Structure 1
């Protein structure tokens, strides 16, 4: 990506609305206040859900078409947004705690997630639940923002100050024990998702939903369960990988300490007189520790790769869990017919694309995790076999030493070497047990069900979006109208307008109900030559078309809730005007039309 493109993404789009001054008040968000918005490549808002409109205090007409930084609060360091653009323009998701400024000057704080999608960006934001992580971020923000303001006061431009602030932010993270911003994001998102679940964040249930929307609610609920199971498995794998990292680090430190002992063995060997089986054994062990230290370094590197991969995988699935929650809230909006409910279905389609993208990337990473875990377990097993040789020799050395007079060097070295061998063997056994459990937990997760639920949600939302698009037909009756007792997936088809000819009709007579002027009708159209003088050879009867019920197709799958007292005893039948009595009409040949059955 060119520097010009990156700079275009970083620069603010010209504001359409003057920002308010902060008034010192703060809005308290609800657990189920989940924000959704999409922007183009430059950060101009294209979609905004009801929560975003309500909390930001801006009308939707103002939000849509404005840059997303219309809600930027001056306490936020520019470095945070510079980091955001660096990640997004590299096609990577971004997460941060963000303080926002509403139109009335109040402050509200969110955990913001932003995902690149279809040439633009999709954002889902929630109330922060981890006060400790938010506090750590605020501490760093305060330091960085203070420096940025000083640099700007000294004449440095805001973009340059933000770039310098990004370096300070990285140093602050390192000082807090966090390697980089990626590690911070990978810590925050799973922790926040687990905290939301523990706090009781759930998508409201709508048991009265029917049809397509009821199916969508079921798919969303089952998708949530599948993702929760996956997050739990990845959480355990992440814990095991962290344990492996700690144990391999301890083993590496012990291996480095062996270097001093090897040096002492070489010095004792030079002072020894003649051949000594015990000294020969110690010399062999000294050589083997060099091979062992190489294996330890290799395993340590592999374990660190596994830990980083597990953290990245867990991060993506936790992010998918937030997207799934927003799908659920949008589905509820469709069922409840909340204001601007038509905007929910397109949002679900975009969220499902983000889910599919994240799950596909994660599936590949899971395969890599399994391969890495198997490699780590294999290499640790090789280390265990290597250390078993000097461990066996140690017993024979001790037997030989019991009947011999040892030099001062050997008497001093034997206990130290024995202790080192036992400690190394115990460490390898511990790390081997963890590695084996890690290998079992790293088996690829079956994501077939997840893909099926995402696909079903996307397809259903696409249909609902098409059905809810404005149509040239007359406005439908309100949902709570007493005349509308039930909604249908599709509007009922009207009865046929053509009825078979009466029995006993003259040969060659046209079919009853054939329109005048049609071939074989025997009745020329009024515009045809001689049409006015042509006789009618037989009577015709046209079944009246039932009146328009006004049932809106855009409400597919939704039936308004009615208490038992409100339900009619029997569904109202369709009213049809009685047919005119004409000869040779016989009523028994024409049973009354049936009212369409609800599905």
Structure 2
């Protein structure tokens, strides 16, 4: 009963605001509030005299894990826009959740925030609670807890936290449009479609690497079997040595393709994530500008100045998204070509595998161990070729989607 009363009390203290309302605030480099909109002031419960000149952490809620702010600051201090779910506190102890986009600007930072309403927001609130509990119980420093946050993104199949936040923004915009009865906005649809394709592509990349790493043990098994079936230097030993030499060459190519810090897949994923996030940001910034116009210029905040800044950010964001999409399209074309090349190299391995199968047949009754080893090769080869085919098609799908969108932008201009 006490727990239920506590939950009810906390629910009653939530500060509500409408789904079509957006918060706006601008700070200097130190995070000191310079300006904001009336919705921000009203929901926070503070007066402008309390907000302007105060650090933005005046609205930080103690329930928030430090991990989130470490990830945010790491990004924006390097000049990269970033997003996050944030629980804020209101004056008098109330609280409210937002999805915030934070954009670095000359002399400081700008944030636009919307009301989260997707299923993902519920999952993130639960994750925040778990990370906060670990921060307290294990005395985790911000960087250690930030790793937990990034690890959660990777576990979900996203190559980076930025990619995950692009997906989150797409989910929030789509659900917001649905609840407000708005038609699906083309940029939002593209966000969702490309995020889904990138998630599948990342899954195929990881599966490809795992299969190929597992494949490396098979030639050793083949040599062990050969030592029992034939004299040293026999045909099975020769086949296993040839297979190992060829697979090493492919392994090196594959690692440059899907592994390592600057691999082709990671570079394309980064460009797609950046493009998607900027598309979502520019849409929200444009809507924020419209809201500021309806609020008018009055009171302590000069909304005309803020609107001029937002218009510039919207243009800059569109241009950055276009550049990122162009770069991602070029990487996707390279991915497609590399997939074809790796598939061609796999055909060479197939030839060696077939020779092993022939030798297995020649040995007949004595070849039980060899037969099982060749069966392993068959299974790995089938999986690798299927994944390469999937990566090639997904790369083409992403390239075509980006090219269509870039073409539509050119026509609109």
TM-score (norm 1): 0.56
Tell me the equivalent position of 1:369: 328
Q: What is the rounded CA distance, in whole Å, between the counterparts of 1:59 and 1:111 in structure 2?
A: 23
Q: What is the root-mean-square deviation in Å for CA atoms of aligned residues?
A: 4.0
Tell me the equivalent position of 2:186: 229
Q: What is the rounded CA distance, in whole Å, between the counterparts of 1:353 and 1:123 in structure 2?
A: 14
Tell me the equivalent position of 2:281: 319
Q: What is the rounded CA distance, in whole Å, between the counterparts of 1:105 and 1:398 in structure 2?
A: 73
Q: Which structure 2 residues correspond to residues 53-68 of structure 1 after superposition, within 5 A?
A: 53-68=41-56
The alpha-carbon distance between structure 1 residues 349 and 292, as it changes in their structure 2 partners (threshold 3 A), is same
The alpha-carbon distance between structure 1 residues 264 and 166, as it changes in their structure 2 partners (threshold 3 A), is closer
Q: Which structure 2 residues correspond to residues 14-93 of structure 1 after superposition, within 5 A?
A: 25-77=13-65, 80-81=68-69, 83-93=71-81
Is there any run of 5+ residues in structure 2 with no aligned partner, and where? 1-9
CA displacement 1:153-189 (0-9 Å, x = unmatched): xxxxxxxx9x924533433653683687545534432
Tell me the equivalent position of 1:300: 258
Q: Is the 8 A contact 1:173 1:181 kept in 2?
A: yes
SS in 2 for 1:446: helix
Q: What is the rounded CA distance, in whole Å, between the counterparts of 2:100 and 2:338 in structure 1?
A: 41
Is there any run of 5+ residues in structure 1 with no aligned partner, and where? 1-21, 152-160, 203-223, 454-599
Cα deviation, residue 450, structure 1: 8.8
The alpha-carbon distance between structure 1 residues 424 and 168, as it changes in their structure 2 partners (threshold 3 A), is closer
Q: What is the rounded CA distance, in whole Å, between the counterparts of 1:418 and 1:390 in structure 2?
A: 11
- Considering fraction of residues, name the structure with more helix: 2
Q: What is the rounded CA distance, in whole Å, between the counterparts of 1:451 and 1:53 in structure 2?
A: 41
Which of 165, 171, 177 is the aligned partner of 1:191? 171
The alpha-carbon distance between structure 1 residues 391 and 318, as it changes in their structure 2 partners (threshold 3 A), is same
The alpha-carbon distance between structure 1 residues 324 and 392, as it changes in their structure 2 partners (threshold 3 A), is same
Q: Which structure 2 residues correspond to residues 443-454 of structure 1 after superposition, within 5 A?
A: 443=403, 445-446=405-406, 449=409
Segment drifting more, 271-280 vs 109-118: 271-280
Q: Which structure 2 residues correspond to residues 213-228 of structure 1 after superposition, within 5 A?
A: 228=185
CA displacement 1:509-539 (0-9 Å, x = unmatched): xxxxxxxxxxxxxxxxxxxxxxxxxxxxxxx
CA displacement 1:301-354 (0-9 Å, x = unmatched): 3223322332232122212221121122234445xxx96699443322111122
Cα deviation, residue 30, structure 1: 0.6
Q: Is the 8 A contact 2:68 2:149 kept in 1?
A: no
Cα deviation, residue 392, structure 1: 5.1
Which of 91, 108, 111 is the aligned partner of 1:123? 111
Which of 144, 165, 178 is the aligned partner of 1:167? 144
Q: Which has the higher contact order (CA 8 A, sep 6+)?
A: 2
Q: What is the rounded CA distance, in whole Å, between the counterparts of 2:383 and 2:72 in structure 1?
A: 47
Q: What is the rounded CA distance, in whole Å, between the counterparts of 2:377 and 2:41 in structure 1?
A: 71
Q: What is the rounded CA distance, in whole Å, between the counterparts of 1:181 and 1:397 in structure 2?
A: 45
SS in 2 for 1:249: helix
Q: What is the rounded CA distance, in whole Å, between the counterparts of 1:134 and 1:413 in structure 2?
A: 48
Which of 95, 109, 114 is the aligned partner of 1:107? 95
Q: What is the rounded CA distance, in whole Å, between the counterparts of 2:67 and 2:232 in structure 1?
A: 70
Q: Which structure 2 residues correspond to residues 411-560 of structure 1 after superposition, within 5 A?
A: 413-443=373-403, 445-446=405-406, 449=409
Q: Is the 8 A contact 2:75 2:81 kept in 1?
A: yes
